Structure 1
Amino acid sequence: MAQNTYKRPPKAPIEKKKKENRVLNYLNQTVGFDRLFGEDNAWPIKHFERIMWISFLLIVYIGFNHNAERLVRNIQRVKAVVDEKRAKYTTLQADFMKSGKQSEISKHVIATGLTEPVTPPLKIVVKQEETQP
Structure 2
Amino acid sequence: MKNTYKLPQREERGGLFRLINRFLRMDSSMSEVIHVRFLPQILFLAFLCLLYIGNRHYAEKKVRDINHLENEVEDLRADYTTLKADFMYESKQSEVAKRAAELGLKESKELPVLIKQVETK
Q: TM > 0.5 between the two? A: yes
2:87 alignment counterpart: 96
* Aligned-pair identity (%): 33
* 1:31 alignment partner AA: M
Give 2:42's aligned residue: 51
TM-score (norm 1): 0.64
* Residue of structure 1 equivalent to 2:97: 106
Confirm whether residue 131 of structure 1 aligns to residue 119 of structure 2: yes
Structure 1 equivalent of residue 22 of structure 2: 26
Give the TM-score normalised by the residue count of structure 2. 0.69
Gaps of 5+ in 1: 1-15
> Is 1:121 equivalent to 2:108 in the alignment?
no
Structure 2 regions of 5+ residues with no counterpart?
Answer: 1-7
CA distance in 2, matches of 1:124, 1:113: 28
**Larger radius of gyration, structure 1 or 2?**
1
Distance 1:112 1:25 in 2: 90
Q: Which AA in structure 1 matches 2:107?
A: E
Q: 1:55 to 1:123 in 2, by over 3 A?
A: same
Secondary structure at the counterpart of residue 121 of structure 1 = coil
* Higher RCO, Cα 8 Å, sep 6+: 2
Moved over 6 A (4+): none
Separation in 1 of the partners of 2:44 and 2:11? 20
Q: How many residues align?
A: 110
Partner AA of 1:35 in structure 2: S
